[in-house]
Chains A and B, each alone.
Chain A
Amino acid sequence: MPLAALWSCAGFCVAALALVAAGLGINGWNDFLWVLQAPAPVGIWLALEASAVVLAIALPAVALLGFAAAGAAIDAKIGGFLAKFTEPAADSRIATASVVVGTVILIVVVSAGYRPDILSASLALIVVNLPAITGRFARALRAVSVVRLQAAAATGAGPVHIFFFVLARAAAKGLVAAVLTTAAQMLGETAALAVASRAALGGSHLKASTLGAWPLAVDLWTRASAHADLSAVSAATLILTLIILLLRSVAHALTPRAANPKPT
């Protein structure tokens, strides 16, 4: 993506945040506290809990599968024939397509008569995020110096020992960053999935979830489309944005950067 487009996106995000904050300022910050304290369906605690449940189901599963796939992709001795299938994911070549695949799966599940619940949303999120997290894991693992791996091999260590005791340990921060980035993405993507499935199904299936609330991103979209109290929607949007920004910031801080040799 050209740099100008990236800066435009960043500018748009900042402007949107400023607008939300301004809305809160005009309507009063009391709404901000109110959405945190009020009982459901006005308050957002249940929605936050639903978000946490989705993450609790989807994140460990996608992290585990992604780690295995990244391991298989970067070392053919570990991955064997599977490396051929996991390599494209590690290169993130199919990451974009997977969003479509995940959405289609959710739509198909709903069309087949199943009510979309937290579990089906989590499954769709796993499918959507698997290639992306595999790519992030692979990038974190590939950031480890090849010479270090050769030095480990030169002591007689096998590929599995090197993978777990050298590669994974040396890339630990990058792996944690990948998990946090994916968590942030999942918090936001639930909305995209809900929008897509509601658009396809007319919205009648999205009225309830097994927890009595939808994850926050879906909840916001539902409130906004129902013309609910806009100051409460703004406050809830700000909370979701702050959570995502916090996760992304920690991930960014943990992401290893290329070390420049110190002048001597």
Chain B
Amino acid sequence: MKATLAWTGPKVELSDVSVRYAEAVALNKASLKVPHRTTIALIGASGCGKTTLLRAINRLHDLDESVRINGSVKLDGVEMLASGVDVYALRRRVGMIFPRPTVMPGTVADNAVFGMRAQGIRDRRELEDGCERALRRTLLWEYTIASGSMLKPADSLPIDLQQRLCIARALAVDPEVLLFDDPTFELDPIAAGGIEDIIARLRRDCTVLLATNDLQQAARLSDVTCYMAGGEIIEAGDTPVLFSRPANARTEDFLAGRAS
């Protein structure tokens, strides 16, 4: 009988990852281990490399020819920066949500199943099931049914619901890791609270990396917090510990709102 060994190491592992935009270094030898079903918050001033680090994980930097990336990014122990890796399959396993809602042309339903269709799924029943499952997970199902907006253009939704739809689009292809890049950037506190509720639910099923400028949000949602500055990871630790007793003086300055 063939035994299947489960991977017990970190879900995502970055080792000495450096990213350059032309001549500018955006990320400098960043190393980070993200255990299964853990939520890690990336905090730091704007331009410190949070987004760059997230994009290194799903290889979104590949879309920009001027970007050079070195180091190692492993998912379940398998190198993802190697040349033979199926990038499209990787991006289905590692979903990403952007700061501004980025709905696709078409209806709400079209958006929810966008990733499934891109994957080649054409079975109507399967698409309908996937759509319902994704919209339920983002608390959009009841709204779309009650308001009759399932077949309306996605960009006609209020902005917070558009962001939920973007999360649903990522969830429809059953990702194992979710990258949230400042997902409440454009939202008011109430709408942001709704998105946070969804992230809190998703933490149970997925590994989550959350880049945010909202320190309270990081404290509320994450198990581990990672402080970045100047393209480097300065300090990473359990969230309550890092916020109450940071080991590094630069982290302490940042949390206190002092320029270091």
Q: Which residues of A contact B (CB under 8 A)?
A: 145, 147-158, 161, 165-166, 169-170, 172
CB neighbours of B98 from chain A (8 A): 147, 150-151, 154
Contact of B77 with A by CB under 8 A: no
Give the nearest-CB partner of A147 in chain B: B102
Find out whether the CB atom of B60 lies under 8 angstroms from the CB atom of A154.
yes
* Bound CA–CA A148/B101 (angstroms): 9
Instruction: Determine which of B58, B90, B100, B114 lies in contact with A157 in the assembled complex, contact meaning CB atoms within 8 Å.
Output: B114
Assembly CA distance A156 to B114 (angstroms): 10
Q: Which residue of B lies closest to A161 (CB)?
A: B118
Known A158-B118, A165-B117; judge A153-B91 contact (CB<8 A): yes
Q: Which chain A residue lies CB-closest to B92? A: A156
A237 to B63, CA, bound (A): 50
- B88 interface neighbour in A157, A165, A172, Cβ under 8 Å: A157
A100 to B209, CA, bound (A): 57
Do A166 and B91 touch across chains, with their CB atoms under 8 A apart? no
Asked if residues B118 and A151 are in contact (CB atoms below 8 Å), the reply is no
Q: Closest CB-CB distance, A193 to chain B, in whole Å?
A: 38
Q: Which of B141-149, B166-174, B226-234, B239-247 faces chain A?
A: B166-174
Q: A161-B118, A165-B117 are in contact. Are A154 and B95 (CB under 8 A)?
A: yes
Which B residue's beta carbon lies closest to that of A162?
B118
Q: Please, which residues of chain B bring their CB within 8 A of the CB of A155? A: 91-92, 95, 114-115, 118, 169-170, 173
**CB < 8 Å: which of B91, B100, B105 contacts A169?**
B105
On chain A, the residues within 8 Å of B102 by CB distance are 145, 147-148, 150-151
In whole Å, how far is A201's beta carbon from the nearest beta carbon of chain B?
49
Alpha-carbon distance A156/B117, docked complex (angstroms): 10
Chain B 105-124 near chain A by CB (<8 Å), digits 1 or 0: 11000000011011100000
Residue from the list A147, A156, A161, A169 in contact with B106, Cβ < 8 A = A169
Distance (Å) between the CB of B133 and the closest chain A CB? Answer: 15
Contact B63 A165 (CB under 8 A): no
- What separation, in Å, do the CA atoms of A155 and B178 have in the docked complex? 11
Binding site for A on B (CB under 8 A): 58, 60, 63, 88-92, 95-96, 98, 100, 102, 104-106, 114-115, 117-119, 166, 169-170, 173
Chain A residues with Cβ below 8 Å from B118 are: 152, 155-158, 161, 165
Q: 11 interchain pairs (CB within 8 A)?
A: A148-B102, A149-B63, A150-B63, A151-B104, A154-B58, A155-B91, A155-B95, A156-B88, A156-B90, A157-B118, A169-B104
A148 to B155, CA, bound (A): 12
Nearest CB in chain A to that of B114: its residue: A155
Q: Which residue on chain B has the smallest CB distance to residue A166? A: B104
B167–chain A nearest beta-carbon distance, Å: 11
B63 CB contacts on chain A under 8 angstroms: 149-150, 153
Given contacts A153-B91, A154-B95, contact A148 B104 (CB under 8 A): yes
For B170, give the chain A residue with the smallest CB separation.
A155
Q: Compute how far the CA of A197 lies from the CA of B92 in the bound complex, rounded to whole angstroms.
A: 58
Rounded to whole angstroms, the CA-CA distance of A154 and B60 in the bound complex is 7
Closest B-chain residue to A76, C-beta based?
A: B65
Q: Are B60 and A158 in contact (CB under 8 A)?
A: no
Chain A neighbourhood of B60, CB < 8 A: 150, 153-154
**Closest-CB distance, B227 to chain A (whole angstroms):** 25
Q: A156 contacts B104, CB within 8 Å?
A: no
Question: Which 3 A-B pairs have CB atoms at the shortest separation, nearest pair first?
Answer: A157-B118, A156-B92, A155-B115
Cα distance A145–B166 in the bound complex, in angstroms: 16
